[in-house]
A and B are shown apart, each in its own frame.
Chain A
C-alpha cells in the first residue's frame, strides 16, 4: 500500500538542478533539523540546486556561503515556496 504524506508540499527534493528557490519551513525535527539549520538551510533563505550526484542522490546545494550536499531523503523534508509565491 502506498503511503502519502498527510500534507503534501513542494520540497527541495522536487527542484530541478539549476533552479533557485526559497526555503519555507522544515518538516524534520531534532538532530536532522538542527544540522540543516547549522549548514545555513534556514527558513527564508535562498538556495540554488546545483546538481544531483551521478547516481541521482545526494544533491548539491549552493547557499550564500558554502556548497552543501544532502540526501534526497532529507531534502524531501524541506518545504520550499512555489516560485510565484516569493
Chain B
C-alpha cells in the first residue's frame, strides 16, 4: 500500500546525533563526527516497518530555520517543499534548553514532529532525569528517549514515527509572541486570503514576514501577483517598523526572546533530580591544561608529532610486512597471464602487470591510512579537533582559511604523508564558504604520501649530505605556499564568495568508542581504495596506451628482430655438444628464460633461509630439467656452461628490450607531448623524460617514480638502484642539484592528482573550479621552478643554496603578508548594524 509509505526528515543541531540515529534507523552508513558541521548534504536511507516503506533523510545540522545560512535554507526548503510526513527532531538531551528553540520552530511550521531525546546516556550519567510525559504533553508531540551511539530506542522511535504520521493536526504548543500577536493575526488573515499561499503555514509565514526573512519574501513574490505581493510585504514591513519603534526592540530579537521564555516554561519541572553537569567540570579541567597559553602549542605539536610518528613512521614499518602480500598477488596474477615472449610480451600481459603495479603502489599505503584515519577519528570524536581549530584560527584566518581548515590540512598531510582526497572531502565541515573554497585549493599543496617517494629519490641522488635539512624545507615550505596561495585566492578569485562568522561550539570531551573509530577509519580508507579501483586504474590504462602507441617503425622492429635472432643463434652455438642442448632448443628457449626470471624474482621476494629453500624445491619440482640450468648441480660441468650461456642470453635480451622500450616511449604519444613541452619547460630545466614522468604523475603521483624508473633503465647486468642510475645519467647530461630543486618545487606546487580533482568537482559542484584547481597550480609551479632554475643557473647557486633562498624568501613573504593582514583587520569597524531606533 503506497499511502503507508512515509517520508521522514531528521532535523536537529549539529552534533545532536542525527547521522548516528539515521544509521540506527536505516542501517545505512554515514559519516559521523563530533565536530561541528560535518553533514552539509542530505542523505537518504530506507527501512521497512510493519506498515510499509519509510524513507529517512538526514538534513544538515541547523540551530534554527532562518534563511541566513546555506544549511538552514537547504533544511527549511526541504521541510517546506517536500513536506515530509514526519519530522524527527533529534536533540542533545543534555543540552535541552537550547535545542528546543528549533523544536518550536518546527511545530510552528505545522509539521508533524517526533522529539528524539538523544544522548540519554549522558543525561543519566549526570544523574538527571527528564519527565518525558510532561514534556510530550506540553509540546503536543511524541517524545522518545534514544542513545544513538548504542543503537538504543530504535523500535520506540520507529513506532512513534508511525503514530505521528497519523496526526495531521498542528501541534498543540504555540509560542506566545505578546505584543506581536495582533500583527501576526492580521498578517495571517491577509495572507490566508490568497489561495496561492494555502500550502504555506499561515502563522509561520506571518512571523517570517515580520522578521523580514529573505526566503519568505521570495515565496510571496513567487506566488502572488506583483501588487498583492508588494502590499503584503509592505504591510509586514510597516508593522515591524512600528513595533520596533514602540517597543524599542527589533522583531527578530523579540521573537527569540519570546521563544526563550516559552522554552523556559516548557522545561519548568521537566528536570527531576540532578544538578549542574558533571561532565563539563572534567572538560574544564582538561581545557585548563590543553588550552593554556603555554601548554597549548606544546601539546598541539606533541599531538601532531605523535600522529606522524605512529601513522607514518610505524605505519611504514608495517608495510614491510604487508608488501610481500602484494608482491605475491602480483606473482599470482603474472602466472595467470599469457607468458612473456622473447622480445615483446603479449599486450594482455604487459597491460595486466602495469595495472597490478599501479594498484599495488597505492594499496601499499593502506596500513598507513588505516592508522592515520583512526587517529584522526579519535581526535574528532574526543572533541580535541575543535580545540585545535580554536588554537589555530587566528593564524589560519589571517590567510583566508578557518580554524576548521585544520582537519582537511592534516588529512592532506601537513608534514609528511596524507591524502588530498579525504582532505578535500573533509572541507565540507567548514561553515564559512569562502574559507572552505580556499581550503579546497590549499589541501593539494600538502605532502601527500605519494609525493614522498620522488622527494626521497631526488634527495638520495643530489642531497645526500643535506637530506634532513632538505626534508625539513620541503615539508614546511608546502605549508608556507599553501598559506600564501589561500591568501592570494581569497583576495582575488574567491573574494565574491559568501563568508560567515566563526562561532563554534567547544563540545565536552567524549571518550571515543572503538566501533566509531574503526568504522570511520575503514570508511575513509575504503574511499582511498576506491580511488585505486576506479580512477587510477582508468588513468593507468590511458597512460599505458599513450606510452605504447604508435610503437616502433617496421624498420626498427626488423632491426631488433635480427638482433634477437642473432642472440639466440649465439646461445645455440654455445650449447652445441652440451649434454643439456636438447632441452634448450627451439620454442623451449623462451620458456627457459621465463623460468629463470621467475626463479630470480621468487628468490628476491622470499625472505629467510627456509622460504628461500622452499622456492628452490617448488621450482625444482615444477621443471627439474630447467632447474638444472638455473641452478647447476655441483660438479656438473655441462650444466655450468649451459647456465653461463643462458645468463648471457638473458642479459642480451634485457638490453634489447630496454632499448626497444626507450625508443617506443620516445616516439610514443606521451613522449611526443613531453618533447613538445620542452620549449616551455626548459626554463625549469626539465627535459622530455622528466616531462613524461610529471605528466604521468597526474594520474597518480606514485607513477612519477615508476615512470622515471622506466626511463632511466638499467644497463646490461648492472643492478644499480634507480638513484645511482638516474644520478649517473642526469649528471652526465649536465643535470645538477639545482635541477632537483626545480623538480621538487614543481612537484610541491603541481596540480592535485586526478582523483583529487574529481573530489574538488564534487565539493565545489563545478567543473570550472575543477579546471581551476588544475591550471592554477600548473602555471604557479612552472613559474616558480623556471624562476628558481634560471636565476640559480645565472648566479651559479648550488642546489641547497637555491632551496635555502627560496625557503627564506617565501617565509619573509609569509610574514609580510601576515602583518599586512593584521593592519587591515584592525581598521575593521565593529558597528555595522543599521539600528536607527536604538541610536541615542
Tell whether A pairs with B.
Answer: yes
A residues neighboring B (CB under 8 Å): 3, 5-7, 11, 13, 25-40, 42-44, 50-51, 53-58, 60, 64-71, 73-74, 76-77
B830 surroundings in chain A (CB, below 8 A): 5, 11, 13, 27, 73, 76-77
Please name 19 further chain A to chain B contacts, defined as beta carbons within 8 Å, in addition to the given A27-B835, A38-B63, sorted by A numbering. Answer: A7-B840, A27-B832, A29-B832, A29-B834, A34-B64, A35-B500, A37-B252, A42-B256, A53-B393, A54-B293, A57-B393, A58-B394, A65-B97, A66-B98, A69-B390, A70-B501, A71-B393, A71-B397, A73-B825
Whether a CB of chain A sits under 8 angstroms from the CB of B101 is yes
Is the CB of B232 closer than 8 A to any CB of chain A?
A: no
- Chain B 822-840 residues near chain A, CB threshold 8 A: 825, 827-835, 838-840
Beta-carbon contact of B257 and A43 below 8 Å: yes
Binding site for A on B (CB under 8 A): 63-64, 66, 68-69, 95, 97-98, 101, 249, 252-253, 256-257, 260, 280, 283, 287, 291-294, 296-297, 390-391, 393-395, 397, 403, 500-506, 825, 827-835, 838-840
Given contacts A31-B500, A51-B291, contact A60 B253 (CB under 8 A): no
Contact of B503 among A3, A30, A56, A68 (CB under 8 A): A68
> B503 and A35: CB pair below 8 A?
yes
Q: Which residue of B lies closest to A35 (CB)?
A: B503
13 A-B pairs whose Cβ atoms sit less than 8 Å apart in the complex: A7-B831, A27-B830, A27-B831, A30-B68, A34-B64, A36-B501, A37-B252, A42-B260, A53-B296, A57-B393, A58-B393, A60-B390, A65-B95
Is B831's CB under 8 angstroms from A69's CB?
no
Pick the contact of A65 from B69, B98, B249, B394 — CB < 8 Å?
B98
| 10 cross-chain pairs, A with B, having the tightest CB-CB distances, nearest first | A38-B63, A31-B68, A76-B830, A55-B394, A67-B506, A54-B296, A5-B831, A57-B394, A71-B502, A34-B68
Q: Which residues of the other chain, B, contact A60 by a CB distance below 8 angstroms?
A: 291, 390, 506
B-chain residues with CB within 8 Å of residue A30 when the two chains form the complex = 68
Bound state CA distance, A74 and B829, in angstroms? Answer: 10
Once the chains are docked, how many angstroms separate the CA of A7 from the CA of B838? 11
Q: Which residue of B lies closest to A63 (CB)?
A: B98
Tell me, in angstroms, the Cα distance from A45 to B812 when the chains sit together.
Answer: 45
CB-CB < 8 A to B827: which residues of A?
3
Q: Are B505 and A67 in contact (CB under 8 A)?
A: yes
Contact status B503-A28, CB under 8 Å: no
Partner of A58, one of B253, B502, B828: B502
Closest Cβ–Cβ distance, residue B753 to chain A (whole Å): 34
Residues of A within 8 A of B506 (CB): 60, 66-69
A35 touches B69 (CB 8 A): yes
Alpha-carbon distance between A26 and B833 when the two chains are bound, in angstroms: 8
Q: How far is the CB of A45 from chain B (nearest CB, A)?
A: 8
Closest to A68 in B: B505
Q: How far is the CB of A65 from chain B (nearest CB, A)?
A: 5
Contacts of B393 in A (CB 8 A): 53, 57-58, 69, 71
A68 to B283, CA, bound (A): 13
> Of all chain B residues, which has the CB nearest A78?
B830
Tell me whether A27 and B833 are in contact (CB under 8 A): yes
Q: How many angstroms between the C-alpha atoms of A45 and B294 in the bound complex?
A: 31
Distance in Å: Cβ of A58 to nearest Cβ of chain B = 6
B828 close to A66 (CB less than 8 A):
no
In the complex, are the beta carbons of B504 and A68 less than 8 A apart?
yes
Which residue of chain B is the closest to A5 with respect to CB atoms? B831
Q: B505: which A residues are within 8 A, CB to CB?
A: 39, 66-69
List B contacts of A74 (CB < 8 A).
501-503
Closest to B256 in A: A37
Closest-by-CB residue of A relative to B827 is A3
A55 to B389, CA, bound (A): 12
Q: What CA separation (Å) do A69 and B36 show in the bound complex?
A: 12
What distance in Å separates the Cβ of A18 from its nearest Cβ neighbour in chain B?
12
CA distance A36 to B806 in the complex (A): 43
**Which A residues are CB-close (under 8 A) to B253?**
25-26, 37, 42-43
Whether B831 contacts A55 by the Cβ 8 Å rule is no
Residue of A11, A38, A42, A77 touching B832 (CB-CB under 8 A): A77
Chain A residues within 8 Å of B69, by CB: 31, 34-35
Cβ-neighbour of B101 out of A38, A43, A70 (below 8 A): A38
CA distance A11 to B832 in the complex (A): 14
Task: Kindly state the separation between the CA atoms of A7 and B839 in the bound complex, as whole angstroms.
Answer: 8
In the complex, which residue of chain A has the Cβ closest to the Cβ of B386? A69
Closest residue of chain A to B830 (Cβ to Cβ) is A76
- Chain B residues with CB under 8 Å of A40's CB are 98
State A53–B832 Cα separation when bound (angstroms).
Answer: 25
Contact (Cβ within 8 A) B503 A54: no
B293 contacts across to A, CB distance below 8 A: 54
Given contacts A3-B829, A7-B840, A69-B390, contact A38 B257 (CB under 8 A): no
Contacts of A64 in B (CB 8 A): 97
Known A38-B64, A39-B503, A57-B393; contact A66-B833, beta-carbon cutoff 8 A: no
The one of A7, A32, A73 in contact with B828, judged by C-beta atoms closer than 8 angstroms, is A73
Q: Smallest distance from the beta carbon of A50 to chain B beta carbons, Å?
A: 8
Contact indicator B291/A42 (Cβ below 8 Å): no
Which A residues are in CB contact (< 8 Å) with B257?
42-44
